[in-house]
Every structure is written in C-alpha cells, then in structure tokens.
C-alpha cells in the first residue's frame, strides 16, 4: 500500500465518490431544505477526502494516521447528517440506505488504513 500519494488510495476515491453523491442530493433539495443542513452534510462529506489528502501531504505515518482518524470522524458526521436529512424527508429511503451502506464500507476501509499505519 502506497501511503504517500493520496490519489492512489482507494479510500480517497471512495470518499470523493460519496462526496459527489451527497452534493448531488443537496443540489436536488436546495429549494426545500434549510441551508445549514445542506452546508453541514456537504462540508462533512468533503472533509473525509480532504483529511486523507492532508494526512498524506504531511508525510509522516503519525500525521497520516491522525488525519485518517479525523477523516473517519467526518465520515461518522456525514452519516449523522444523512440520517437527519432522511428523517426530515429530504432523502428518499432507497438513496439513504445506499449512501449509509457506502459510508459504512468506507469507514471500515479507513479503519483498516489506520491499522496499517500503526505498523
């Protein structure tokens, strides 16, 4: 596993794909959903990939691990905001289930990445 180039990491690509999907939902609901909800979910989703990239840019394994942990936290925050949007009727059930599943897979992969950085 290459820990120096974030663009080669599968977790980075998974994070950006999820971020795009979240953004697409926010665009669809922008006229009906309060701004703060859209802003929070988009910011937390964008933060997953951004923290993976920043950790790689720092260079050291401890920094990569630290930022991967932050990315994982942003993933959990994104899960929360998606639940809120779903519960308030802004995200259809099918899309909600798919995104939650994708986020759960990504969170497991980020956890594996964190464990690999501990070695």
- Give the domains, in start order, of the chain with CATH numbers: 6-118 (1.20.1440.60)
- Collect all residues with Cβ–Cβ distance below 8 Å to 59 and sequence separation of at least 6: 4
Distance, in Å, from the CA atom of 78 to the CA atom of 41, rounded to the nearest integer, reads 6
- 113 burial type by CB count under 10 A (0-12 exposed, 13-18 middle, 19+ buried): buried
At residue 15, φ and ψ (nearest 5 deg) are -65, -40
- What per-residue confidence (pLDDT) applies to 58? 87
State the Cα–Cα distance between residues 23 and 32, nearest whole angstrom: 15
10-residue mean pLDDT series, the chain (119 residues) = 75 97 93 93 97 91 96 98 96 96 97 93
What pLDDT score does 75 carry?
98
Q: What is the pLDDT of residue 4?
A: 60
């Amino acid at each position: 596993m290459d820990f120096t180039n974030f663009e080669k990491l599968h977790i980075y690509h998974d994070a950006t794909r999820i971020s795009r999907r979240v953004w697409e939902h926010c665009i669809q609901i922008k006229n009906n959903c309060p701004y703060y909800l859209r802003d929070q979910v988009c910011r937390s989703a964008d933060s997953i990939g951004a923290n993976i990239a920043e950790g790689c840019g720092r260079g050291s394994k401890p920094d990569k691990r630290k930022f991967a942990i932050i990315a994982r936290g942003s993933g959990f925050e994104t899960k929360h905001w998606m639940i809120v949007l779903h519960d308030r009727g802004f995200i259809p059930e099918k899309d909600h289930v798919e995104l939650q599943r994708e986020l759960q897979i990504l969170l497991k992969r980020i956890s594996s990445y964190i464990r690999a950085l501990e070695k």
